[in-house]
Amino acid sequence: MKIKNNISVSESGFVFDAKTGESYSLNPSGKEIIRLLNLGKTQEEIKEYMLARYDVPDLIVIRHLDDFFQMLSYFNLTVECHDQ
Amino acid sequence: MINKLKLTIAVSGLNNTDNPGPGIPVIRGIRDSELIDARIIGLSYENLEPGIYMSDLVDCTYMLPYPSVGMEAYMERILEIHHEDHIDLIIPNLDAELHTFIKAENILKEHNIKTYLPSLKQLEERNKGNLDTYGQKYDIKVPKNLSITSHNEIGQLDNNFTYPVLVKGKFYDAYMAYNPQEVMVAFNKVSAKWGLPVIIQQFVQGTEVNVIALGDGEGNTVAAVPMRKQYITDKGKAWSGVTLNDPELMEITHRLIKQSKWKGGMELEMIRTKNGDYYLIEINPRIPAWVYLSVGAGQNIPEALTLLAMGKEVKTMTEYEVGKMFIRYSFDLIGNLADFEKINMLRKL
């Protein structure tokens, strides 16, 4: 999964889709995930990173991450990478 | 120091209301120009059009009769104004005026008044009622359209359309209708205001995106800026919008202007579906009211149109700032009864 080129994310977590004109707000975790996606990390790698970083039950982290990835896809902010 | 081009420019569409005409933002673009030193003459139809009272933008305003009085009477008034207050260029900004100004091109030329408008053929082929033919000719997807002139035809719509449909006036207004009864109500409203025919258009689900563009009549797109409305009023007008980076939309715009050799300002209204298809729903044959966003984003379209009309060379503008926004607001102008009296009694302020 990769963030599309036309999506910009500011330091504050404000997301702007230059093609559609839509904008979104990210909380710090969301911003962190987008940063990792932009670094080329896979969803699995991001899961591992978040599990290691937050003292939250695994299932909760995984569920929230899956929700978040689905939301990114639903809002058409991402493209799938075939090498993942 | 640049020698500014001194011009007297007459501009209509001073109705800067919640259904705004493009006149005031056009004037703001011209006022922002570093190449033009303009005296602005406002042309108004109603005595409370806000632009009449904006003395920082409009130097002088004259009242006009509606174009429905006929070309002769209408042009008589234009020439009367011209003899009193020499006009170099007229920028008509209302759909209902365009036919008259295009037909009067030769009369205006004789009096050395310039315009920068599409041809009658270009104007008519993009009429809302001709959208199907237009789509075929220029290879652009358009929603199904039908012009109707009587209630009797509403019953037959089921054969060709699936509800909801849009019921549109020939110049302005559009209502969504979910069944024949709602079409009937909308038909009555629209036809009472804008006359016949009334256009029935298949509703296309998606996001509306718009492009403001300027064609030079030779097939070149001199300027183009795409925008998405972020907030829409109950009249369907943009109250705020943001510039986009949409290469497909720009490609469609450039292709359309190249093929049609469009001359003048225009607005393309398109729907982008979830599948990424673009449907042309309307072409407004003039500068739209959100033109000042294009100025703010780096393309001064009113300035470019003025220079082209005066026979000056204008470089094609390809750059603009993506993510530039406009937000409209309402503002109370304080006026004087004496001014209201003048515009009423003398038809001039």
CA–CA separation, B136 vs B129, rounded Å?
14
Whether B60 contacts B42, CB under 8 Å: yes
Per-residue confidence (pLDDT) for residue B130, from 0 to 100: 85
Residue B224 has pLDDT above 60, yes or no: yes
Most distant pair of Cα atoms in chain B: their distance: 67
Looking at chain B, the whole-number percentage of residues with pLDDT higher than 90 is 80
Q: Which residues of chain A have pLDDT under 70?
A: 82-84
Whether B42 contacts B51, CB under 8 Å: yes
Residue B248 has pLDDT above 90, yes or no: yes
Burial of B339 (0-12, 13-18, 19+ CB in 10 A): middle
Q: At what angle do helices B95-103 and B71-84 cross, to 10 degrees?
A: 80
Per-residue confidence (pLDDT) for residue A25, from 0 to 100: 94
Number of DSSP helices (H) and strands (E) in chain B, helices first: 11, 14
Kindly state the average pLDDT of the residues B163-189: 89
Assign B231 to helix, strand or coil: strand
Question: What are the domain boundaries of chain A?
Answer: 2-77
Assign A41 to helix, strand or coil: coil
Cβ of B207 within 8 Å of Cβ of A20? The answer is yes
Per-residue confidence band for B3, with pLDDT thresholds at 50, 70 and 90 = confident
Within 10 A of B74 (CB to CB), how many other CB atoms are there? 19
Whether B168 contacts B190, CB under 8 Å: yes
User: B245: Cβ–Cβ under 8 A, 6 or more apart, which residues?
Assistant: A6, A18, A19, B226, B322
- Interface-testing mutation among B251, B322, B324, B327, with chain A (most A C-beta atoms within 10 A): B322
Domain with CATH 3.30.1490.20 in chain B: 144-202
Assign B122 to helix, strand or coil: helix
Cβ of A21 within 8 Å of Cβ of B322? The answer is no
Kindly state the average pLDDT of the residues B214-231: 96
Q: In chain B, which residues have their Cβ closer than 8 Å to the Cβ of A18?
A: 244-246, 322-323
Residue B128 φ then ψ, to 5°: -55, -35
Cβ of A20 within 8 Å of Cβ of B245? The answer is no
Whether B303 contacts B251, CB under 8 Å: no
Per-residue confidence (pLDDT) for residue A84, from 0 to 100: 47
Residue B187 has pLDDT above 60, yes or no: yes
Kindly state the average pLDDT of the residues B60-76: 95
CATH architecture of B144-202: 2-Layer Sandwich (3.30)
pLDDT in tens, B14-60: 998 888 999 999 999 999 999 999 999 999 999 999 999 999 999 99
Domain B5-115+332-345 has CATH 3.40.50.20: yes
CA–CA separation, B63 vs B54, rounded Å?
15
Per-residue confidence band for B145, with pLDDT thresholds at 50, 70 and 90 = confident
Nearest CA distance, B105 vs chain A (angstrom): 39
Cβ of B323 within 8 Å of Cβ of A16? The answer is yes
Residue B110 has pLDDT above 70, yes or no: yes
Per-residue confidence (pLDDT) for residue B54, from 0 to 100: 96
Cβ-nearest to A19 among B227, B230, B246: B246
Cβ of A20 within 8 Å of Cβ of B230? The answer is no
Per-residue confidence band for B172, with pLDDT thresholds at 50, 70 and 90 = confident
Give the mean pLDDT of chain B. Answer: 93
Residue B125 has pLDDT above 50, yes or no: yes
Residue B277 has pLDDT above 80, yes or no: yes
B246 and chain A: CB distance < 8 Å anywhere?
Answer: yes
pLDDT in tens, B300-318: 999 999 999 999 999 999 9
Kindly state the average pLDDT of the residues B187-193: 90
Cβ of A6 within 8 Å of Cβ of B230? The answer is no
A16 and chain B: CB distance < 8 Å anywhere?
Answer: yes
Per-residue confidence (pLDDT) for residue B19, from 0 to 100: 86
A10 and chain B: CB distance < 8 Å anywhere?
Answer: no
Domain with CATH 3.40.50.20 in chain B: 5-115+332-345
Of B160, B186, B168, the residue nearest B284 (C-alpha) = B168
Q: Per the structure block, which two tokens stand in for A4? A: 């599309």
Per-residue confidence (pLDDT) for residue B132, from 0 to 100: 87
